[in-house]
Structure 1
Amino acid sequence: MLTGKIQSLQVARFTPFGAYLKVGEEEVLLPNKFVTESLKIGDFLEVFLYTDSLDRPVATTQKPLGEIGEILALNIVSIQDNGCFLDLGIDKDIFMPSKNPKRFQIGQSVVVVLTNDKQNRLIAKLGIKERLLPFKGSLKYKKVTILPFETTPLGIGCVVNQKYYGLLYKNQIYSPLQIGKQSSAYIQKVRSDGKLDLSLKAFEDLNKEKERLLQIIKDKQNLELDFNSPPQEIYTICQMSKKSFKTLINALLKESKIIIVQSSQDPQRKSICLS
Structure 2
Amino acid sequence: MADADSPLFRFQLWRANLPPALRVLLTVNLATYLAYVLLAFFGFFGVPLGQFMVDWLTLPTSWEVALTRPWTVLTYGFVNAFGGFFGLISFVFGFYWLQWMGRDYEESYGAHRLFGLYVMGALGGAVVGLALGAVLPLPRSEYFGLWTPVTAILCAIATLHPTRGIGLFLLGVVPMKWIAVGFVVISLLFSADLSVLGAALVGVLVGRAQQAGSDPAAWAAPLFGGRIGRRPKKKTSRQTVTASRSKRSSSSRSSSKTVGRDAAPALDVDEILDKILDKGYESLTKEEREALDRASRD
TM-score of the two chains, using structure 2 as the length reference: 0.22
Q: Select the structure with the greater relative contact order (CA < 8 A; seq sep ≥ 6).
A: 2
User: When you count strand as a share of all residues, which structure comes out higher?
Assistant: 1
User: When you count helix as a share of all residues, which structure comes out higher?
Assistant: 2
